[in-house]
Structures are given as structure tokens and as C-alpha cells.
Amino acid sequence: MPPICRVAGLEIRDRLFPTTVEFPPGVTAVIGESGAGKSTLLSLLVGFERPRSGTVDWCGNRIFWMPQDQGSWPGISAIDHLLYVMPAPDRAQAQELLAGFGLAEFAHTIPERLSLGQAARLATARAVAADPDVLVLDEPFSSTDSATANRCWELLVRWREKRQGHIIFSTHRADEVFGFADFAICLLQGAVVGSAPPLELYQNPANLDAACLLGPCTSLPAEARAALEIEDHRGLYRPEELTITAADDGLTVREMRQIGSRFELWLETDC
């Protein structure tokens, strides 16, 4: 299927290196650490910022952007936030959307009186109410607890299926990528280091930093792999790829820490 958006040579000085990438239909996650360039890329996509060079082609799609600061309208009630963007204002539908995002009792509350998490949910509900072809969401649930965020994501997934729409969102959370994205773009220090389905990026990361964006990963230098007789030129290992067994001539365990269902071990080698 053709992409919903094409980016060619997009660049902004000191923040985003020249970027060429296509966004396929469905849900695309832009994942990276803080300062990696996620918000910069999204703001360039929607035209909020002008690039130093490059082009963005939305292929005729109508978009609605939710910036990281939500872009709420001061003094305007929550329900009016939705009614003002609806192609055909429908108060009952607006009430239903607010209820779905856990804001039914705040229909007549202005955004200044909402918490950060509530304001983010209002901004997301407004984006859905606008009924665009593509939602562009900048870390929509970074101020929301996991359980509430998951419920909101289920609403977004249902909207996408019903509307046959698309979602592009930024995040630093691997669980959101694996839980809801069909495609992912990895950003490191302003550069795209991978663009593929999440599982493919997880299994074949570009480097250790890119690997760690999508889950725990460790590396062994070439000397250590040679000493341990490991025939692997990549040197990157996920927890599920490792088995630790005791051995008389094994490595020394310097520290062990349990994190949920897994253990992290620090091993000492002679290399």
C-alpha cells in the first residue's frame, strides 16, 4: 500500500539531521530518548516549524496535530473543545467521547482546572473529534498512568478501525510501541537509525543504543566473545537469548539485581 506521508531530506539545524522516511498506513511510533528529535520531527511534519531543507508530502491526507503541550484553549470548556472541531457538531457524540476518555464529569471545566493527565486526554479526545485522516500525537499519554493510558489507546485503536484512519505518535516507551504500533521509527540524537515493524527493529537493532530503546539489551566486546568462544559478530544480546549456568571456570558475578520477573547480573571477565 502507498504511504500516508513521505519525508525527503528534512533537516533543521542542530536538531534533526537530513531525514528521508516514509510513513506507512496504520499506526506509526516515533521512539527516542528525551532530546532525540521526536517533537522536532512531528512539528516539521505538521508545518508548525519550517525546515532548513527538505519536503513533506501528506499524499492528500487531512491531519490533526496534538502538540506535547496539548494546545488547549484557555477559558473554553472541555465539551466546547470537541464541538468546535467536529465537522458536524454533535453534543451527544462529544459527551460520549469525553466519557470514553474519563472526562465525563469535566465537560464544563476549563483546561486550566484540569491536571496534566486530564488535559492530555482532553487534547486527544479533541483530535479524535476532529475526525481527520491522520492523528499526529506528540507523547499523548506521558502524564497519564499506565492503566488509564491503555484504556485511551483502546479508544484510539477502535477509532482507527472504524474510521480507517491512521496515527503517528511519539513516545519513549517501548510498551506503547509493541502494544499499539504497526511500524516504528527510531531516533537517536536527531538521526533516524531504524524504520521497520517493531519486532524487526527489536531483533535487528542498528546498535546498542538503538536496541535499548525497545528493551533491555547487553553487549560483549569482540575480545570477550572470543574468550568465551561465542561465534556471534553482532555482540548484542536480549535477556531471552541468554542462559546463566554455574561453572567452575566461569565468570565472576559482581552484582545481581531482580527487576520484576527478570534478573540483571554484572559479570567480570579477564578481557
The string of pLDDT tens digits covering residues 79-130 is 999 999 999 999 999 999 999 999 999 999 999 999 999 999 999 999 999 9
- Which own/partner pairs from 212-216 qualify as long-range (CB within 8 Å, at least 24 positions apart)? 213/31, 213/32, 213/33, 213/172, 213/174, 213/186, 213/188, 214/31, 214/174, 214/177, 214/178, 214/184, 214/186, 215/174, 216/262, 216/264
Phi-psi region of 189 (alpha: psi -120 to 50; beta: other; left: phi over 0): left
Helices 146-163 & 116-129 angle (0-180, nearest 10): 0
Digit-coded pLDDT (tens) for 192-217: 999 999 999 999 998 999 999 999 88
The pairing of strands 166-171 and 134-138 is parallel
Q: Is the pLDDT of residue 24 over 90?
A: yes
- pTM over cut 0.75: yes
Residue 258 vs residue 191, higher pLDDT = 191
Place 233 in a pLDDT band, splitting at 50, 70 and 90: low
Full set of structural domains in the chain with CATH: 5-209 (3.40.50.300), 216-268 (no CATH)
The whole-number pLDDT of residue 242 equals 77
pLDDT more than 90, % of the chain? 76
